[in-house]
Every structure is written in C-alpha cells, then in structure tokens.
C-alpha cells in the first residue's frame, strides 16, 4: 500500500509570514509528484507536477522542491496572504498511474 | 467557460435507488477520472478511463460503473444506493494516461442518501 503523508495537518500563520509544509512519499518506483490547492467550496487546482530529482518549481509566491531519493517534497509560500488560505494536497501516482492523495495541509492566513 | 463540469451539484435520494452523475470536459483531454471524497476528506480514485481502457480501483463496489459515450464525457452510474455511498464525488481530466500531467477537477457532486 502506498502512503503519501503530509505535515503539518493544519497551520495558522499571520499575513506576511512565509511558511512551508512537507509531503513524504515512497522513494521507490517514482513517477511524479503533484501539488494541488483546494479552496473551500471549490475544486482542487493543480499547482505543480514535478518529475525530476532536485526539481524546483515556482508560481508567483509559491514554490516547491523535490527529493526523490529520500522521498519528500516541500511547498513554500513566501509572504502569505489571506487568499492563500486553502488545503494543499500532494499526490503520488501508483503503478497503475492513478493518483494517491495525501490528507492535505490546511493553511489559514490570518489578516 | 467551465473546463470540467459535473451535474447535478447536489443529489438527494433514497437508499436502493439507481442514479447517475454526469461529467463533461471541454479541454480536449483524453483521460478522465472519478474520485470519491471519503468521510476523512481524503480523495480516493475510483476509476480512470482512457481511449476505452478502464482502470478500476479494486475497492470500488461493482454497483458503481462509469460510462463514456465519447472522449469528453465520463458519467458515473450507481445502482442500489447504500447509506455509505453518501459522499462528494469529483470528476477530473488530464491529457494522456501518464502521471506527469496535472489533473483538472470539476466542482464535485454532493450525494446524500436518505
């Protein structure tokens, strides 16, 4: 059974703070690692798909890094804003190329 | 324009009924998926469908069946609904069956069984 684990489960930060969270996944048979943002009452929205060890991707104030050998990815948010409040999910493909999602990190940015 | 649309948004029905949820995508993608958001808020894959190749998650009861009239549609049909089927169901699509393409999600259908 593949386990994708995310930490912390929830996080409260002040507006302007930078923050980061972790996704751990099995390091064997790596295909890709996905990050999604899921705002309340909306649908999950793709942030990044990372495929190479050492990959670093950036989208505005959000960036992510990938270490496939040790099986983790970090998501960073620089200068958090209230609109960044959401659940951040990572997902890892199984051998059938179907995504296994983590339980997410719920971020609340306080004004 | 909505990229992945699901209907209905809410579905309330009685135990034992048969119901369908429709999904359409206008992104030109060739792979579509159904997910169930379980009671712990996890997203669990139910099916993926690509060029008439169906991959079924082994934990999905055979009362659930996907039906794809064409590449842009993947409907979910559920027979003999049970109380445990109450959940939010999400449709998604991506280009290619490979795992290196992002998935685009619909807004979800909240199914409530009375």
CB-based contact, A45 to chain B, within 8 Å? yes
Contact A101 B44 (CB under 8 A): yes
Exposure letters B49-84 (e unless 16+ CB within 10 A, then b): bbeeeebbbeebeeebbbebeebbebbbebeebeee
CA distance B62 to chain A (A): 19
Q: Coil, helix or strand for A82?
A: helix
User: A17-44, pLDDT tens digit by residue?
Assistant: 999 999 999 888 788 999 999 998 899 9
Contact B104 A32 (CB under 8 A): no
Give which of A79, A25, A82, A78 is closest to A50, Cα–Cα.
A25
**Which residues of chain B neighbour A100 with C-beta distances below 8 Å?**
45
Contact B41 A104 (CB under 8 A): yes
User: A43-102, pLDDT tens digit by residue?
Assistant: 999 999 999 999 999 999 999 999 999 999 999 999 999 999 999 999 988 766 788 999
Question: In the numeric block, which tokens belong to residue A41?
Answer: 């009452």
Contact A46 B102 (CB under 8 A): yes
**Which residues of chain B neighbour A98 with C-beta distances below 8 Å?**
33, 45, 48, 55, 57
Rounded CA-CA distance A71/B14 in Å is 44
Per-residue pLDDT 10s for chain B (114 aa) are 669 999 999 999 999 999 999 999 999 999 999 999 987 788 999 988 987 788 878 789 999 999 998 889 999 999 999 999 999 999 999 997 667 899 999 999 999 999
Contact A97 B42 (CB under 8 A): no
């Amino acid at each position: 059974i593949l386990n994708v684990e995310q930490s912390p489960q929830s996080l409260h930060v002040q507006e302007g703070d930078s923050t980061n969270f972790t996704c751990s996944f099995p390091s064997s048979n790596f295909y890709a690692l996905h990050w999604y943002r899921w705002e309340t009452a909306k649908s999950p929205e793709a942030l990044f798909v990372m495929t190479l060890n050492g990959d670093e991707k950036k989208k505005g104030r959000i960036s992510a890094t990938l270490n496939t050998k040790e099986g983790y990815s970090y998501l960073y948010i620089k200068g958090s804003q209230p609109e960044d409040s959401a659940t951040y999910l990572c997902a890892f493909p199984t051998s059938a190329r179907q995504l296994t999602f983590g339980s997410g990190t719920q971020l609340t940015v306080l004004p | 324009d909505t990229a992945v649309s699901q209907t209905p948004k809410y579905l309330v029905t009685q135990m034992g009924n048969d119901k369908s949820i429709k999904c359409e995508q206008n992104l030109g993608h060739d792979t579509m998926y159904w997910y169930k958001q379980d009671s712990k808020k996890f997203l669990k894959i139910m099916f993926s469908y690509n060029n008439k190749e169906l991959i079924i998650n082994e934990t999905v009861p055979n009362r659930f069946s996907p039906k794809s009239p064409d590449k842009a549609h993947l409907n979910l049909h559920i027979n003999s609904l049970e109380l445990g089927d109450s959940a939010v169901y999400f449709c998604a699509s991506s280009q290619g069956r490979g795992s290196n393409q992002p998935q685009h999600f619909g807004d979800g259908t909240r199914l409530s069984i009375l």
